[in-house]
Structure 1
């Protein structure tokens, strides 16, 4: 593990098994006033590093040692369960819808999924880190296109009422139904009704509500 003690506006733990990749990302982020406070070659010490260096965001590769399957994804999900105030941004070489949906299950707050090809755009990466660190949601546009299809998503969104658009926008920010109700000064029952209407108008499959909520969020993010 290596650490720095600069005073960037965001503090990041970067997890990737390739040392040159980690060094390159850290250098790019330093130019954007984001400090990589710790670099790890695997996710085994992630929680300790987040606590030790008071990190705001963890940036992880999906495929990590020892099996190079989903160790990074699983570590990110575990971090979300145990450190709810820490954002998680997962990087992947592939637009794998099932991985993004797995990561977004739950509140969807403070979480992101980007393709590694976006990393070379330092401003884009820094913006994603800041949004995730502030409790927002970031999903790579290529993944959204894969999951939904652009024309279908835009056509379906046109069916929503203004209030349903308001509710969907807050869903994309990771807010729960009770939080949306407070934000819009509505009853929880009214918000639940709006959410059901959103599911119907977006032609989402009759999967469990949590799966449909993730797909609705992906649709909203595609439009934005």
Structure 2
């Protein structure tokens, strides 16, 4: 079953799917209509536009959730014009397999699209390669301070003010050895190995200031 408010795209998809081995059993222009079709006669897989009337936000996701609640075995393939990582992450977090997220451009690669539809119908998860690359890039660019505990952040903030370990200990009412342990942990989490050419304390402070 297909759901897309773009008539030309939806009709085009309905025409090419039989050529790659699929039977189209229903079409809808919005999520609510698709849910009713799927409730009455559950298909193997629904192909759903992510943004549809009335709000053009994430109606496709809401329709997918509604279909999964009434027909748990239906595969759900979401199509989007653009890579929207937050929607794809929600799809992967809230649905236990049998879901996919592809850019609409992938539909033109018919053999690949057919394989992805069959994978989703079989209960597997399919994610657009461009989205995967975007998520890895986001992970590489994550805030380095996220790995620190609250106490380690406080220690590093005082280090950035130029305080020695003894002065940091006085500010935070900690033993100097405790502060030294926090500093070693910060170096480890920032991957700052001992190096005669570089001052790890300065590098840690620079990391803090950049973040």
Q: Higher relative CO (CA 8 A, sep ≥ 6), structure 1 or 2? A: 1
The offset of 1:51, in angstroms, is: 3.2
Secondary structure, aligned partner of 1:28: helix
1:61 maps to 49
Secondary structure of the residue aligned to 1:135 is coil
Q: Structure 1 residues 71, 106: closer, same or farther in 2, change over 3 A? A: closer
Per the TM alignment, residue 67 of structure 1 is displaced from its structure 2 partner at its CA by: 1.2
Q: How does 1:146-185 map to 2 (within 5 A)?
A: 146-149=134-137
Question: What secondary structure, in the 3-state scheme, does the structure 2 residue paired with 1:101 have?
Answer: helix
The one of 12, 16, 40 equivalent to 1:52 is 40
Query: Cα–Cα, structure 1 residues 103 and 61, in superposed 2: closer, same or farther, change >3 Å?
Result: same
Query: 1:93: which partner in 2?
Result: 81
What is the aligned partner in structure 2 of residue 181 from structure 1? none
Task: Point out the structure with max Rg over C-alpha.
Answer: 2
Distance in 1 of aligned mates of 2:93 and 2:139: 25
- SS in structure 2 at match of 1:74: helix
TM-score normalised by the chain length of structure 2: 0.62
**Secondary structure in 1 matching 2:57:** coil
User: Structure 1 regions of 5+ residues with no counterpart?
Assistant: 1-12, 153-202, 204-224
Q: How does 1:59-208 map to 2 (within 5 A)?
A: 59-149=47-137
1:40-73 CA distances to partner (integer Å, 9 max, x unpaired)? 0111122221133331111111110011111112
Deviations 1:82-129 (A, max 9, x none): 321011000001111100011111453100000011011121111111
Cα 1:89/1:51, change in 2 over 3 Å: same
Contact (CA 8 Å) 2:42, 2:71: kept in 1 or not?
no
Which protein has the bigger helix share? 2
Partners in 2 of 1:91 and 1:123 — Cα distance?
16
Instruction: Answer yes or no: is 1:33 the counterpart of 2:21.
Output: yes
8 Å contact from structure 1 (residues 38, 53) kept in 2: no
- Structure 2: tracts of 5 or more residues without a match: 141-188, 190-211
**Residue 138 of structure 1 aligns to a residue in which SS?**
strand
